[in-house]
Amino acid sequence: MAGIRDVAKLANVSIATVSRFLNEDPNLSIQEDTKKRILDSASKLNYVHKKINRSVANITLILTVSEHDELNDPYFRLIKQGVIDEANRLKIKISQIVRLTGEISRISLEKVDGVILIGQVQQGFLSYLLSVTPNLVVVDDETPNMNYDVVYPDLGNIMINYLDSFYAHGYRNIFYIGGKRLLKNYQNDVIIEESDIRESTYQDWMTAHQLDSHCYIGDWSIFDGMRLADELLKDVNEIKSPTVVIVGSDPMAVGVYRSFQKHGILIPEQVSIVSFDNIEVAEFLTPPLTTNHIETEELGKISIRLIKERIDNIRSTPVRVSISGELITRESENIFK
């Protein structure tokens, strides 16, 4: 069965031009002969275009974090803001913003044109969403899947870059403090706890370099960052120089700072600290925190562009988009300056 790509190829125009023309985009300006080629090509291929009714487009945004967690950690808040801003720019309507609580079972998803899900959920729930609509984009979960679009930060490579850099500067005492990958169901119950990509990458790298790994894993809060740092200091009789602690998120790093400062550990003179996210507070810590900046709003914006391609029938093949990080060098370590 012919698709929009076949029509575009036969008419010798772009897929986007075919889609915009057949959907009667008022902002599209093309020659009459181009219009005729598109119509003739569609006729020859017996292509039946499902015209999009823009007035009833129905996009649902599903969040796996609570409002409380969103306020405490700007990561997910900024992704959501990126989704909303790009949807407004492209004139896409988000008719529902749903959080994963028991209430979701009472919200109708039967007539949606597309779903964007931010966070990590069990495969069964994803299968349910795909049964509702093939236009599904999952943000912040890089688990391989061939059935839907995925947008995620490239945390594994960021971790490898940290490890390679410190190793090259003679560091062999390398610790990791982070959290678990939590898979949830539609009622927001955690049903599976798995190693996060930062933890698994760290473990694999340390094993490959024949070094002892030192992982301290809890939740992603400031409190657990402090608690896990306290545990680390109890386990280590003496801080050997050089030592680095890689922390899975900036909020956790705030807790690590508090613990080390409480115990009189000097940063970076005795211990270097690096992290992920580059939230606003990172540059106001003492000393300012070296971290990796992730364009979290861009994650949300890309998800809208991907779902628009699906709804416009421009593309049916699932894609995976990874966002690289940018190292923000400050004063919590001495090797990147």
DSSP secondary structure string for all residues of 184-237 = E-TT--EEEEEE-HHHHHHHHHHHHTT---EEEEE-SSHHHHHHHHHHHHHH-S
Alpha-carbon distance of 249 to 73, in angstroms, equals 10
Find the helix or strand (DSSP H, E) in which 99 lies.
Answer: strand 94-99
> Residue written as tokens 């416009």?
312
User: Per-residue pLDDT averaged across 34-58, rounded?
Assistant: 77
| φ, ψ of residue 182 in degrees (nearest 5) | -105, 120
CA 18 to chain centre: 31
Amino acid identity of residue 242, one-letter, is P
Contact 15, 2 (CB under 8 A): no
pLDDT digits (tens, 9 = 90+) for 265-306: 999 999 999 999 999 999 999 999 999 999 999 999 999 999
pTM over 0.85: no
Alpha-carbon distance of 284 to 185, in angstroms, equals 37
Residues 6+ apart with CB under 8 A from 126: 117, 136, 138, 145, 147, 148
Give the per-residue pLDDT at 244: 97
Contact 190, 182 (CB under 8 A): yes
pLDDT digits (tens, 9 = 90+) for 101-128: 655 555 567 678 899 999 888 888 888 8
Give the per-residue pLDDT at 104: 53
Alpha-carbon distance of 92 to 52, in angstroms, equals 12
pLDDT band at 228, cuts 50/70/90?
Answer: very high
Alpha-carbon distance of 77 to 146, in angstroms, equals 27
> Residue written as tokens 């181009």?
34
Percent pLDDT > 70 in the chain is 91
> Residue written as tokens 């949606």?
112
Amino acid identity of residue 148, one-letter, is Y
Residue 178 is given by DSSP the state E
Give the per-residue pLDDT at 187: 59
